Amino acid sequence: MKKGTDIKFGFVAVVGPPNAGKSSLVNFMIGHKVAITSRKPQTTRHRILGIKTTPTAQIVFVDTPGIHDAGKTKMNRVINKAALSSLEEVDAVLFMIDDRGWNNETKLAFEAIGKPQAPVLLLINKIDKHKNKDQLLPLIADSQQRFDFAQIIPISVKRKQNLDSLQAKIIDLLPSDGMGYGFPEDQITDKSQRFLAAELVREQIFRQLGQELPYSTAVEVNGFENKEGNVLVSDMTVWVDRQGQKGILVGKGGERLKLIGTRARKQMQLLFGKRVHLFLWVKVRKGWADNAALLKSLGYSED
């Protein structure tokens, strides 16, 4: 790992309400897909590190689930805890909203983070929706009254607007203690291939199914093995809460599950650079989202 007094290194938490574009931002800044995305809120369930290395700095982005009303299930409470615990001992916080401004969901998320010790940058995403950027001035003025943000930066992750300026500002906020990079220069995340593969299946479930069903699913990896000839073989179970959900997920003649598997497999091949054989099974376990043992096996833990 590179050392030097001029190297900056630090952790940056990316927080905010669901569907603000946090994971898309992290993926772009890293230059690799380390977090899944969809148009549905609360797609992200885990805290994920995305590591960006430049010649002068290493930024560790902490991508978090959207902070939301925790609801009744144990899983929702674990998800919120993962997001809020990410604020501990970071060097900067990116609080991300979109051009809709300070609605109830955004206010709830901001109130939940309290008063971080680290400087907070407010990112206003999706500014590409506005041809006249002066339309954002009332939102910026409103935001300035709510908190003493280190800076308010309007951005568009979709159109890659102002992201270079954002990176420069983040690097300015990072410390330089002479220790150099904290991770190997070629490392892009703290998550394993096994974890990322399961997430890519879950991404396709969110993208291919209706509004409610994806939230009643979880993906468990039963087998994950790298074979000779640059081949990966993986066997996974998709858990659902009710028998009727299984029928919807599988689809007529198994077509929907086949589509989910095909698209997830292609994403795995792009990410891992190898041929992938993926086997998916759907099983019913009522109340899985409140089953502490199953949640722990799936990587959801309050610890």
Least confident of 158-162, 272-276, 293-297: 293-297
CB 257 within 8 A of CB 249: yes
Domain borders along the chain are 8-173, 193-297
177 compared with 290, residue with greater pLDDT: 290
The confidence band for 214, taking pLDDT boundaries of 50, 70 and 90, is confident
Q: What is the DSSP string of 99-130?
A: TT-S-HHHHHHHHHT---SS-EEEEEE-GGG-
Residue 248, sorted as left (phi over 0), alpha (psi -120 to 50) or beta, turns out to be alpha
Q: What is the DSSP string of 258-290?
A: HHHHHHHHHHHHHHHSSEEEEEEEEEE-TTGGG
Q: pLDDT digits over 40-70, tens only?
A: 887 878 889 999 999 999 999 998 877 755 5
CA 78, CA 299: separation in Å to the nearest integer? 10
Residue 29 has pLDDT above 70, yes or no: yes
- CATH assignment of 8-173? 3.40.50.300
pLDDT of residue 114: 87
Least confident of 90-99, 110-119, 216-225: 110-119
Least confident of 48-52, 105-109, 234-238, 282-286: 105-109
The confidence band for 276, taking pLDDT boundaries of 50, 70 and 90, is very high
Residue 84 has pLDDT above 80, yes or no: no
CA 197, CA 236: separation in Å to the nearest integer? 9
Residues with Cβ within 8 Å of residue 255, at least 6 apart in sequence: none
Fold entry, domain 193-297: GMP Synthetase; Chain A, domain 3 (3.30.300)
Q: pLDDT digits over 187-211, tens only?
A: 999 999 999 999 999 999 999 998 7
